[in-house]
Amino acid sequence: MNSFLLIIVFVHLCWLSLRLSAETVCIGNERETLLKLKHNLIDRSNRLSSWNASLNPNCCHWYGVVCNNITSHVAELHLTTPPPLYDEILGYEDYDEAYEEYNRRAFSGEINPCLVDLKHLNYLDLSENLFYEVPIPSFVATMTSLTHLNLSDTGLMGNIPPEIGNLSNLLYLDLSDAANGTIPSQIGNLSNLLHLQLTGCYYENVDWLSSLSKLCYLHLSDTRLLVGGMPIPSFLGSMTTLLHLDLSYAGFMGNIPPQIGNLSNLLYLRLRGDYFVGNDDWLSSLSKLEYLDLGGANLSQSFQLLHTHQVISSLKHLYLSEFTLSWYNQPSFVNFSSLLTLDLSYISYHSTISFIPKWVFGLKKLVSLFSYGSHFECPIPDGLRNLTLLENLDLHGNSLSSIPHWLFGALSHLKFLDLSYNNLQGVMPDALGNATSLITLRMTYNQLQGLIPTSLGNVTSVVELDLSYNKLEGPIPYSLGKVTSLVTLDLSYNQLSGNLTLDYCGNKVDGEYPKSIGKLSSLRVLRLSSNQLGGNPFKSLGSLSKLFYLHINENHFQGAVNESHLENLTSLRYFYASGNNLTLKVGRNWHPTFQLIDLDMSSWQLGPNFPSWTHSQNELEDLKMSNTRIVDYIPPYFWKAFYSLKYLNLSNNQIHGKIENSLANPLSFIIVDLSSNQLHGKLPFFSSDVKWLDLSGNSFSSMYDFLCCKQIKTFDLNLLNLAYNNLSEKIPDCWIKWPKLVNVNLQSNHFVGNMPMTMGSLARLESLNIRNNSLSGIFPIALKKNNNLISLDIGENNLSGTIPTWIGENLPRIKILRLRSNNFSGHIPNGICHMIFLQDFDLAQNSLSGNIPNCLNNFRAMVQKTKSKNLIIHTSDGRSGAISIILWTKGRASLYTSILGLVTNVDLSNNKLSGEIPREITYLDGLIYLNLSGNQLSGQIPPSIGNMRLLESIDLSRNQLTGKIPPTISTGTQIQSFEALDFVGNNLCGPPLLINCSSNQQIPYIDGSEKENGAHGVNWFFVSFTVGFIVGFWIVIASLLIYRSWRYAYFSFLDNMFYKVRSYW
């Protein structure tokens, strides 16, 4: 009998063996089910190409399909699409491209209910896909064979069906970020569940968790608790099978319950968030714990914390970042014998505790130490040299002052070192060459000076090197070329000089020729911008075939770049090389080997012809070719070739012709800058998505069709600059279509008539400039509704009537108010004094009469001595820009942008104002320019005017002032250089006038034409000097007036000079 049984068992095993050895062939009806599923999915990357019954009928071999080897039924579907992880070494640019690839690979569309026909399916993973706005399929709750279900991060919306509680065989459930409804309590019916992850979900209570007695893994981080103030439930302490518990930022509040200490099998505990740790004795019971994170918790009452923790001998990873610890009994020694990782970042210590507590220096096995963002002002502590096994050290975001000489010798195992955002000074130590294990070195945003040490070439393992934003100088050492492992190199914003290559011909060099950056064959990211490097960089960089991101803006590079210099840059996607003196010399039929996303070649010489090779760059999103000497029209293909282009800048060229397009094919960019060219005709049509549009400095003649397009109801435009064109007739009354406008500049055109009433509908408008036109009528009543205005310039028009009394109350945010060179009459309304933020107040060259209001001291911005450097406007899409405006100061017009916020100006000159100078005007301690000339002011100059210490210019000439110029006026820091011309045309005496107040002589009326050598004498030196100055001055000014491109280049030069000077402050 026993022999018979053995024979049966043997035969059965043989049959099983033959069955397993045969090829598993899928079942026909299940193959048809999978094809139906594929039909409803959108598969842009063709990942399901193997799902083809005619080419591959065996669905068990299809992508993502796993069949049971015995029954041949479809048992598992793996259709997840993992997103890219951010790589700190490659940076955001590489990540952005990887994320675009992820969006292309991820599945979308609909999930066909046919899935329920897969009766034997036990594993379903649809996570990390893009099923946006698709409801969570309710049929999933009927697939009772499932043991593993993952719908996390799929974009699914709606409520999780309560019937999911019927999946009694489930062992694994992940619904993270998979719904915007609440978690049903029926999940508590899944009594066999071992793994539950509900990150980012909503729930009303968690009482149902107590039913999951077999649970090993519970992850509730970043959940949204709909009932506020709920504590962490104490019943969690009875779930003794738990190995992994994460309640970080789960919406719970209050104390951490001591019952957590009953979880004796726990390996991983993460309680990051605003929890309160009182009695911490429960920690000592977690004898198996390896990972503990209490980041952000309040430990102010946990006096024995470290004493408790050191009982947990199994602990390997301890995270205490962002916690509050006002005092504790700091032990001299802690027995964290297994600790590998310690995070003490963003912490608030008691003042008696050192930057890094002394007990840390005894952690001999420590591999990773993070202590960043606490802003300690001290040197790097010597005790760190005891941590000889340290591989990762992050101390960024403090105020460390120096690099100790021992750092790179004692810590020989260092792989990651981040000392950025500190106050490190002095030179980089030569001992850096001893850190031969380094992979990442970051020292950006410090005050390091001197040369980059040549010993850096010995650190051949470095993958990322960031020394940007320091004061390093001299050449880039050629020894750096030996570090062929480098993937990311950032030396930008230093004072480095020299060339990237060196011609050794005719020289005698001992030993091996130094290697250059061109030898860094692994380099993917290179940033050298804002240095003083020279030569032709592409003679060296042209060999970097893996280069993905290149940023060399604002250097002294020069020379011709030809096709051979660029042909090996096949991986290049981001190309920034503006602000140099480079010339591109390529043939008309050149097709680059790279395909760019961003291209900035501003200030190159690309012209005179429009660069036709750009036609091949059809993936461009950002194109800047400003000031590139193009003297050509824009070819018709250009407007259709770049379907992805978002930012276009072709400004400061000599591009001519018309932009021909129609409503059926509007220009669909987001930001467009075609300013300072020679374009003419009607303004082109743009899509409703355009946000910034600058067409200033051209010769466009009509804007009606553009502004009043009937086919589009509203536009998203934030900035519109049409200044310096040939636009004429009335301003179109269609502004209601442009509700998001923040900045409108129509200056220096030929507009006539009144300002349209629909401009009052621009509720978000912050800057309006219509100066230098021929507008007429009274002060625009439409402005009464523009309550957010910061800058208003309607000067140099033909407006008349009085300044309305409502101006101060309805425009309370105004900082720039320019009404000069109009025909306004009447009194200056006292309502002006409600404009407490006013910085530039210019009513010059009108016919205003009456007294100067005695409430000008309400201008708080002119009272304050400290101000921001520029005036910023913010748009709805999160962008910001500085306001530009022309101000008359010291008798001349100047364009201000970068330092506009620093300028304070009151100009009431050339009106008919009378009465005395109000004493309140002398309270404006922050005022820089004051011009009251050409009025009928009488009385004496207020004696307190000398207290205005910041005044650089004052003009009180041509009034009816009398008496002595206050002697305090010559003691100010700025005012000592004032001349007699600032006071002539009055009945004044005293310095700087040559009229002595002590004599009783009649003070003559001086109009400024008489000279010191007598009223009728001629001083030919001054005559010739004056004639020469006038001729030279008007040659320059006439050139700027005639040639618009010269004028824009001049003002841009002044602005750029400010930015360059500011970088050294």
The CATH number of the domain holding residue 431 is: 3.80.10.10
Which phi and psi angles does 263 have, rounded to 5°? -85, 70
546 within a domain of the structure (yes/no): yes
Residue 898 pLDDT greater than 60, yes or no: no
Torsion sign over Cα 299, 302, 303, 309: negative
Tell whether 592 and 471 lie within a shared domain: no
- Please compute Rg for the chain using Cα positions: 37
Query: Of 1043 and 692, which is predicted with more confidence?
Result: 692
- Summarised one tens digit per residue, pLDDT across range 798-840 is 999 999 999 989 999 999 999 999 999 999 999 998 999 999 9
The percentage of residues in the chain with a pLDDT greater than 90, rounded to a whole number, is 58
Torsion sign over Cα 332, 335, 340, 344: negative
- Taking residues 1038-1056, report their average pLDDT: 49
Domain closes at, from 435, 464, 499: 499
416 within a domain of the structure (yes/no): yes
86 pLDDT band, cuts 50/70/90, is low
**Measured CA angle at 748 (ends 753, 605), to 5 deg:** 150
Reading the block at residue 503, the tokens are 């011609």
- Summarised one tens digit per residue, pLDDT across range 643-680 is 889 999 999 999 999 988 766 678 888 999 999 999 99
Q: Domain containing 1051: what range?
A: 1020-1062
Which phi and psi angles does 425 have, rounded to 5°? -125, 170
668 within a domain of the structure (yes/no): no
DSSP character string of 505-530: TT----SSPPP-GGG-TT--EEE--S
The percentage of residues in the chain with a pLDDT greater than 70, rounded to a whole number, is 81
| C-alpha span between 688 and 715 (Å, rounded) | 4
Tell whether 411 and 528 lie within a shared domain: no
444 within a domain of the structure (yes/no): yes
Tell whether 451 and 376 lie within a shared domain: yes
305 within a domain of the structure (yes/no): no
639 pLDDT band, cuts 50/70/90, is confident
Tell whether 387 and 422 lie within a shared domain: yes
| C-alpha span between 141 and 384 (Å, rounded) | 56
Q: Spell out the alpha helix ranges (H) of 811-952.
A: 860-863
Residue 906 is given by DSSP the state: E
| C-alpha span between 95 and 115 (Å, rounded) | 34
- Taking residues 991-1014, report their average pLDDT: 56
- Which three-class secondary structure string do you get for 409-451? HHCCCCCEEECCCCCCEEECCHHHHHCCCCCEEECCCCEEEEC
- Summarised one tens digit per residue, pLDDT across range 749-806 is 999 999 999 999 999 999 999 999 999 999 999 999 999 999 999 999 999 999 999 9
Angle between helices 1020-1042 and 1044-1062 (to 10 degrees): 100
pLDDT at 350: 55
Which phi and psi angles does 1020 have, rounded to 5°? -70, -25
Tell whether 476 and 534 lie within a shared domain: no
Tell whether 494 and 528 lie within a shared domain: no
- Summarised one tens digit per residue, pLDDT across range 564-587 is 999 999 999 999 999 999 999 999
Residue 1001 pLDDT greater than 60, yes or no: no
1019 pLDDT band, cuts 50/70/90, is very low
Domain closes at, from 591, 619, 647: 619
Continuous segment of H or E residues that includes residue 156? none
- Summarised one tens digit per residue, pLDDT across range 280-324 is 678 888 989 999 998 887 766 554 555 555 567 889 999 988 876
pLDDT at 1004: 47
Reading the block at residue 921, the tokens are 């005007």
- Which three-class secondary structure string do you get for 317-340? EEECCCCECCCCCCCCCCCCCCCC
Residue pair 820/840 in contact by the 8 Å Cβ criterion: no
Residue 76 pLDDT greater than 50, yes or no: yes
pLDDT at 349: 60
866 pLDDT band, cuts 50/70/90, is low
Residue 1006 pLDDT greater than 50, yes or no: no
Continuous segment of H or E residues that includes residue 242? none
| C-alpha span between 205 and 235 (Å, rounded) | 13
- Taking residues 525-541, report their average pLDDT: 93
Residue 992 is given by DSSP the state: T
- Summarised one tens digit per residue, pLDDT across range 709-743 is 877 788 899 999 999 999 998 999 999 999 999 99
pLDDT at 1015: 34
282 within a domain of the structure (yes/no): no
Which residues, 6+ apart, have CB-to-CB distance to 998 below 8 Å?
A: none
Tell whether 370 and 488 lie within a shared domain: yes
Of the candidates 701, 763, 697, the residue with the CA atom closest to the CA atom of residue 728: 701
pLDDT at 713: 80
Reading the block at residue 529, the tokens are 């911008």
Tell whether 375 and 494 lie within a shared domain: yes
Distance spanning both ends of the chain, measured CA to CA: 100
Tell whether 537 and 429 lie within a shared domain: no
Query: Of 601 and 855, which is predicted with more confidence?
Result: 601
- Which three-class secondary structure string do you get for 637-701? CHHHHCCCCCEEECCCCCCEECCCCCCCCCECCCEEECCCCEEEEECCCECCCCCEEECCCCEEE
pLDDT at 159: 84
601 within a domain of the structure (yes/no): yes
Residue 472 pLDDT greater than 70, yes or no: yes
To which residue do tokens 């017009």 refer? 893
To which residue do tokens 């069949």 refer? 67
CA distances to 139, 226, 767, 1042 from 182, rounded to whole Å, are 18, 9, 46, 69
Tell whether 596 and 494 lie within a shared domain: no
310 within a domain of the structure (yes/no): no
Lowest mean pLDDT among 240-249, 496-505, 595-604: 496-505
Averaged confidence pLDDT in the chain: 84
- Summarised one tens digit per residue, pLDDT across range 89-111 is 556 566 677 778 888 899 999 99
Tell whether 559 and 465 lie within a shared domain: no
To which residue do tokens 């005293």 refer? 990
747 pLDDT band, cuts 50/70/90, is very high
pLDDT at 25: 85
User: Dihedral, CA atoms, 848, 850, 853, 859, nearest 10 degrees?
Assistant: 10
- Summarised one tens digit per residue, pLDDT across range 871-888 is 555 555 555 556 666 777
| C-alpha span between 87 and 463 (Å, rounded) | 12
> Which SS3 state, helix, strand or coil, does residue 781 take?
helix
Domain closes at, from 553, 585, 619: 619
pLDDT at 1016: 37
Please tell me the total count of domains within the chain: 3
Tell whether 458 and 526 lie within a shared domain: no
